[in-house]
Amino acid sequence: MIARSQALAALAEDEFDVVVVGGGITGAGVALDAASRGYSVALLERADFASGTSSRSSKLVHGGLRYLQNFDLGLVREALLERQLMVKLAPHLVHPLPLVVPAFEGARPDRLVGVGLNLYDVMAVGRDRLRGRRSLRSSARAGAAEAEESWSPARHRVISGEEVVELLPALAAREPTSGYLFYDCQTDDARLVLTVLGEAERFGAVCANRLDVTGLLELDGRAQGVEVTDLESGSRLQVRAANVVNATGVWADQLRPQELHQEAELPSIRPSRGTHVTLRHERLPLVGGAIVPAGGGRSIFALPWLGHTLIGTTDNDYEGPLEHVPPSQEDVEYLLSAVNDFFAADLGPGDLTGAFAGVRPLISTGDPKKSVDISRKAELYETSSGMITITGGKLTTWRRMAKMTVDRLVERDAREASCRTQEIPLGQAVDPAELPRLEGVPEQAYEALAGRYGHGAHRVLQVAGERAALAQPIVEGCPDLLAEVAVAARHEQARSIGDVLLRRTRLGLLAAHKLTVQAGPSRRVGETLARELGWDEARLEAELASFSSEAQAEGIALPAAAAS
């Protein structure tokens, strides 16, 4: 990404076709879609890119088996097709994950789950693939057609108890006798946002963080841009644009024109909090994911993620502040109790390597439904000022949400410009074995770098070669390198220790208990940022204190975990 100072200069000088407010996955998607259709685009993020819900998800790129229960068939089908497309466009970042629904004591796997999985299989087959299958039958060139097919999952099947244990070693003690195996996909949500933003920039979008949009610039009731406060300097600026897109997720009902003809021009958001916890792989070893019953007909996921185990999520109405959403103690206990029951384990708060929570931007229809039952469908709103608000939806469906938004702009402008994002690769995959080896870099780091940056891993290794210290891991035993801190500051607008630990790397979620003291890894990150961003000693101490407060407000390390 371009440097923040450079982006600020462009924002103050230029006039844009579209200004996007919000740098989560939805805003990033709109920026990429609009820029790739030839619009000049500015994207403004109040805090850090992906610091809202888009870094706090379950990291699944999935259809959502659960939504079948609510007969949300359109949403599931759309998400399943997007899932396949994401694997094709970003194979290093979105990859297939086997998931298991185990059965015990010789019982048949649950019939109803089997019915749902059948439907899931059928809906995952795209029209092209159906056509492909038909032509495969009739074509003599079947092999060639098959080679061109992109990833799509094998059908679900029943597997033996031994196979269940191979995929879920943590379940060995319960001696499962069989289970369903099916596939979904997994990603690093914050990295997906950064990657989409990077692509948007390639098409000319100008993106900057720490810019709070405080209101609309209006002329005769029409939105002509936005009023902005630069949260670093405190200065105010105006960003002029013919179109304003509000992609602020759970904050979507807060950006308002001076006059609204009716309240229905804006969504009414009903935030729902979801909590996750993480554990060392050795404490709950998983190769694939497990669907874990959690009482009352609910289930949660236990998933392998970035060398750890990720457990979540809860789903409850939330009324607290939106800036920092800590996991509740009750939610953590609920998650631990469900996994302990299911895996016959004895995990306690002291086993946790991190915890985080996020809020879903659910759209209220006034119906007092439980948040789990509210649809995850995306909705587009248009005020008489012309501002378009896009919210709801899921991480998985970001591209469709962006398309829906930019299609509306194109229609309004009577332009001829069709969506191209279905064919724009998101980064470039690289084989970890082909990355140059560097003295001091642990072997496990190469795979992690290839998964996070794709071809961009070369740049990280180049930076790691500048000084011996940069080739070292930030946290002993984790693959993330100190060079990534320098890269984040130079090329990804990372401005604080939290930006690096919570989003550019995911150490804040996976090794939180090692970051809460101001010595050690947090200080090493701070010192590297100080060198890159020109902080003096006093600023470094202030930034370390600020990260401590942020970590506490976010509740990333539970007190018991911190003590262990």
Ligand X SMILES: Cc1cc2nc3c(=O)[nH]c(=O)nc-3n(C[C@H](O)[C@H](O)[C@H](O)COP(=O)(O)OP(=O)(O)OC[C@H]3O[C@@H](n4cnc5c(N)ncnc54)[C@H](O)[C@@H]3O)c2cc1C
Report the interface residues with ligand X, using CB under 6 A: 21-27, 44-47, 51-54, 56-60, 62, 212-213, 247-251, 255, 274, 313, 358-361, 391, 393-396
Question: Considering beta carbons, is residue 25 or 561 the nearer one to ligand X?
Answer: 25
Integer angstrom CA distances of residue 317 from 247, 273, 323: 21, 6, 16
Question: Considering beta carbons, is residue 311 or 475 the nearer one to ligand X?
Answer: 311
Question: Considering beta carbons, is residue 163 or 550 the nearer one to ligand X?
Answer: 550
Angle at 78 between CA 74 and CA 79, to 5 degrees: 115
Give the nearest distance from C-beta 289 to ligand X in angstroms: 11
Give the nearest distance from C-beta 223 to ligand X in angstroms: 14
Which string of b and e fits 388-403 if b means at least 16 CB within 10 Å? bbbbbbbbbbbbbbbb
Question: Considering beta carbons, is residue 19 or 461 the nearer one to ligand X?
Answer: 19
Distance CA 370, CA 66 (A): 14
Question: Considering beta carbons, is residue 26 or 152 the nearer one to ligand X?
Answer: 26
Question: Considering beta carbons, is residue 75 or 463 the nearer one to ligand X?
Answer: 75
Say if CB 349 and CB 237 are below 8 A apart: no
Burial class (CB in 10 A: 0-12, 13-18, 19+), 36: buried
Question: Considering beta carbons, is residue 94 or 159 the nearer one to ligand X?
Answer: 94
Largest Cα separation within the chain, whole Å, is 73
Distance CA 509, CA 502 (A): 7
Q: Report how many helices (DSSP H) and strands (DSSP E) the chain contains, helices first.
A: 18, 18
CA 129, distance to chain mean position in Å, is 28
Q: Is 131 strand, coil or helix?
A: helix
Question: In sequence order, what are the residues at sequence separation of 6 or more whose Cβ sits closer than 8 angstroms to the Cβ of residue 363?
Answer: 267, 268, 269, 270, 374, 375, 377, 379, 391, 392
Distance CA 397, CA 25 (A): 9
Question: Considering beta carbons, is residue 187 or 505 the nearer one to ligand X?
Answer: 187
Question: Considering beta carbons, is residue 235 or 428 the nearer one to ligand X?
Answer: 235
Integer angstrom CA distances of residue 434 from 192, 456, 458, 475, 476: 23, 13, 10, 25, 25
Distance CA 543, CA 198 (A): 26
Question: Considering beta carbons, is residue 92 or 394 the nearer one to ligand X?
Answer: 394
Give the nearest distance from C-beta 49 to ligand X in angstroms: 7
Give the nearest distance from C-beta 320 to ligand X in angstroms: 14
Give the nearest distance from C-beta 403 to ligand X in angstroms: 15
Give the nearest distance from C-beta 172 to ligand X in angstroms: 27
472 phi and psi, to 5 degrees?
Answer: -85, 150
- Tokens of residue 483, six digits: 């060079």
Give the nearest distance from C-beta 27 to ligand X in angstroms: 6
Question: Considering beta carbons, is residue 161 or 274 the nearer one to ligand X?
Answer: 274
Burial class (CB in 10 A: 0-12, 13-18, 19+), 31: buried
Q: Is 513 strand, coil or helix?
A: helix
Question: Considering beta carbons, is residue 42 or 464 the nearer one to ligand X?
Answer: 42
Give the nearest distance from C-beta 177 to ligand X in angstroms: 29
The count of other CB atoms within 10 Å of the CB of residue 496 is: 20
Angle at 272 between CA 270 and CA 275, to 5 degrees: 165
The count of other CB atoms within 10 Å of the CB of residue 53 is: 22
Question: Considering beta carbons, is residue 246 or 522 the nearer one to ligand X?
Answer: 246
Give the nearest distance from C-beta 192 to ligand X in angstroms: 9
- Tokens of residue 69, six digits: 């229960």
Distance CA 349, CA 559 (A): 8
Q: Is 392 strand, coil or helix?
A: strand
Give the nearest distance from C-beta 428 to ligand X in angstroms: 23
Q: Is 325 strand, coil or helix?
A: coil
Give the nearest distance from C-beta 54 to ligand X in angstroms: 3
Give the nearest distance from C-beta 274 to ligand X in angstroms: 2
- Tokens of residue 322, six digits: 């939106």
Question: Considering beta carbons, is residue 21 or 242 the nearer one to ligand X?
Answer: 21
Give the nearest distance from C-beta 194 to ligand X in angstroms: 12
Pairing of strands 308-312, 269-280: antiparallel
Partners of residue 42 on adjacent β-strands: 19, 206
Residues in the chain: 564
Give the nearest distance from C-beta 295 to ligand X in angstroms: 18
